[in-house]
Structure 1
Amino acid sequence: MQGQSEASPSPPEVSWWSRYTRWRQTSKIEGKSAEQRLLDLAGTKLVTSDVHLGPTDQHYMHTIEGGLPKAPPIVCIAGYGAGAAFFFRNMAGLASAFKLHAVDLLGCGMSGRPPFRAHSTSQAEDFFVDSLAQWREAQGLDRMILVGHSLGGYLSACYALRHPEHISKLILVCPAGVAERPADWQPPESMRNFWTVRGQLYRASLRFWDLGVTPGTIIRGLGPWGPRLISGYTRRRFHEGQPMTEPELAAFEEYFYHITADRGSGEFALRHLLGPLAWARNALEARLHELKVPYRNCPDMSRQRLSGRHRNKERLRFLLFQVSVVPHAGHYPFLDQPQNQYQNMPDEHWETSNE
């Protein structure tokens, strides 16, 4: 399916019967309409399409494209629970220098939602990496700049490790899965204490994690109350740096709800890729030294990422890499500081860092 418009489309008509009898307030057509309204705020011409991979009608990857046809291709992968349209505040800038592809990984965003049957870390990685490889081949891309945020950064690094011949540069934005849990790590005392509220919440969260309960599980379970929870979270969460305008927030939270409330699929990979408190099960810090492509990391300053900083120095010593810090931004720098996030990305050459 392809779509592009000069003006924002009206929300699709939903019959009163469906509106008041369905539990989840979502559908694919409503989700794509919400996405288009968000993309109309991007300030550049964009086209959406579904790239079918087979073998079922749910095996397709939703793609947003724009920019210069003959420019270097750049592929942007969103993080856990996010979608390709999360990059909407960067798309005009990226499209001015690149052939832009913002992609929803299989089972995520507006992509197809096939059953997720992985039972191990390697199987979960295969689910995403193999489908991304199929997508690249279907798109006819030989080499690309690959940008991944958060868990999308982890999976982008996994792809680059397996298919370095198709990566010209790798850019990881606040990547998840970098550090492994130190052998002597302990949660804070208040979380270890069984008799505290935090201790009870900690034990409950461990149980939910092991059971595969996700944010999407909760939003779907809340039914008609789900949109209100997403709206409240969005307006509290995204206020760093250059806050979104009211029209941006309204379109963003609607889109965010639809991709969260859709049928669960790729989201169930989380417990196989990360342990409780987001420690990596197969940490990138033990593998990044094997990268054969230029690499840039835009980290956030979380405790986990800092804990692996000195361990990574020696492992990364001979890599061609750069580290960039975006000031006055949180975990979503492309939303918090859209003017600064990718300002150096068109650089033709990166310098080697041996610090």
Structure 2
Amino acid sequence: FGFRVAHRLLMFLDAHSLFYCLLSFLDKTIRSWWISSWLPSWCPSSLYQLKDAEERMLQPIKSNFSKEFVPIADDNALWTLIFRGSAEGRTPLVLLHGFGGGVGLWVLNLEPLSQQRPVYALDLLGFGQSSRPHFSSDAREVELQFVESIEQWRARLGLEAMILLGHNLGGYLAAAYSLKYPSRVKHLILVEPWGFPERPDPGDQDRPIPVWIKALGAILSPFNPLAGLRLAGPLGPTLVQTLRPDFKKKFSTIFPDNTVSDYIYHLNVQSPSGETAFKNMTIPYGWAKRPMLQRIGLLHRDIPIAVIYGSRSSIDGQSGNAIREMRQDSHVEITAIRGAGHYVYADQPEDFNQKVLQVCETVE
């Protein structure tokens, strides 16, 4: 039983895991038992090792690109990859990763997508190599902190407008940014977005959540989602390899070893800044406190939306239809990529890249 719970907990890039709270509770407990200065030595990781893991992730890329920390407010900075390509005058495509992710996970997409326009990929505030500041405990304020960090990043780089693509949590934040700064978004691309539907009433669910899971979620909900990975200490890298072998398979065409698992591990055992922010945006079982479907109808009608899902994903694919219903006087395109799960861009990268390029072509 314990192993099965741990398995679900380690589905840490899937925001809808029902069981992530258990090891989070243990993380907080351990922190009360040992002094905080001891904890970093428990996890075989460091910012240097994260940097090295990312460099190994990006090694297959043959195109020229640059890497830099883009400074924003409060002495923070967002780690950014820039592919300027040969069509620098065209509207740039900006990629926002999902929960627990980082720029390295776009390795199968960056070169193909940058053939026709500049492409920017950034580590969200609190994730990856970007700064990991303190976030508010209020969901509205957390969302605003993320949105303002993206706007400050855009202004610093001098981008007048962009095609904004977000996966998972990145999709939610891309929509939130578009609502506040519509003049800066030429096209919104939502890839398996998190946080759009409201949490269903218990009576509306096909499979009611067992009482013991409800109780566990209520008791442990204050704690961070990825705590179990940090608690595993020296076993963490092996745990990722064992419990998430699918990531190795997704990138097997370019990495025959554990490069991807190592990168994911080092991404998620650093200071849990963005992780805590995400927790503050959720209610039990991974639903958003401020569901985006309540607001997406307010998005400026001139901003077209493309929604991309994996045909085999467990994420609710009905949000795209709901968006289309709300925006009948605006362009909404829904695409399901055959054979892909939640990580569409890695499951079927060629089909995903082709679709994104088609969407981008409608901008100019």
TM-score, length-scaled by structure 2: 0.80
- How many residue pairs match? The answer is 316
Counterparts in 2 of 1:160 and 1:310: CA distance versus 1, 3 Å: closer
Counterparts in 2 of 1:223 and 1:53: CA distance versus 1, 3 Å: same
Give the 5 Å matches for 1:150-229: 150-183=168-201, 184-186=203-205, 188-189=207-208, 191-193=209-211, 199=212, 201-208=213-220, 210-215=221-226, 217-229=227-239
In 1: Cα distance, 2:106 partner to 2:354 partner: 14
Counterpart of 1:265, as a letter, is: S
Counterpart of 2:66, as a letter, is: V
Aligned residue number for residue 7 of structure 2: none
- 1:142 aligns to what SS in structure 2? coil
Counterpart of 1:218, as a letter, is: G
Q: Does the alignment pair 1:23 with 2:42?
A: yes
Deviations 1:220-242 (A, max 9, x none): 222111111122233135646xx
Moved more, 26-35 or 130-139: 26-35
Which stretches in structure 1 are left out of the alignment for 5+ residues?
1-20, 194-198, 351-355
Aligned residue number for residue 38 of structure 1: 57
Higher RCO, 1 vs 2 (CA within 8 Å, ≥6 residues apart) = 2
- 1:244 aligns to what SS in structure 2? coil
In 1: Cα distance, 2:294 partner to 2:121 partner: 28
Aligned residue number for residue 115 of structure 2: 96
Give the 5 Å matches for 1:227-246: 227-237=237-247, 239=249, 244-245=252-253
Aligned residue number for residue 314 of structure 1: 325
Aligned residue number for residue 121 of structure 1: 139
- 1:305 aligns to what SS in structure 2? coil
Which stretches in structure 2 are left out of the alignment for 5+ residues?
1-39
Deviations 1:183-204 (A, max 9, x none): 4435835x424xxxxx3x5532
In the TM superposition, what is the alpha-carbon distance from 1:28 to its structure 2 partner? 1.2
Deviations 1:31-67 (A, max 9, x none): 11110111012343332111121423xx110101114
TM-score, length-scaled by structure 1: 0.82
In 2: Cα distance, 1:133 partner to 1:319 partner: 24
Counterparts in 2 of 1:192 and 1:235: CA distance versus 1, 3 Å: closer
In 1: Cα distance, 2:133 partner to 2:206 partner: 36
Counterpart of 2:106, as a letter, is: F
In 2: Cα distance, 1:65 partner to 1:328 partner: 30
- 1:323 aligns to what SS in structure 2? strand
The answer to whether the 8 Å contact 2:109/2:345 transfers is yes
Counterparts in 2 of 1:306 and 1:100: CA distance versus 1, 3 Å: closer
In 2: Cα distance, 1:310 partner to 1:321 partner: 9
In 2: Cα distance, 1:233 partner to 1:212 partner: 21
Deviations 1:101-142 (A, max 9, x none): 1111111111111122x1222111012001111100111101
The answer to whether the 8 Å contact 1:154/1:175 transfers is yes
In 1: Cα distance, 2:162 partner to 2:125 partner: 19
RMSD: 2.3
Aligned residue number for residue 346 of structure 1: 357
Counterparts in 2 of 1:187 and 1:214: CA distance versus 1, 3 Å: farther
Correspondent of 1:256 among 264, 285, 288: 264
In 1: Cα distance, 2:273 partner to 2:92 partner: 28
Give the 5 Å matches for 1:2-13: none
In 2: Cα distance, 1:295 partner to 1:313 partner: 9
Identity of aligned residues (%): 28
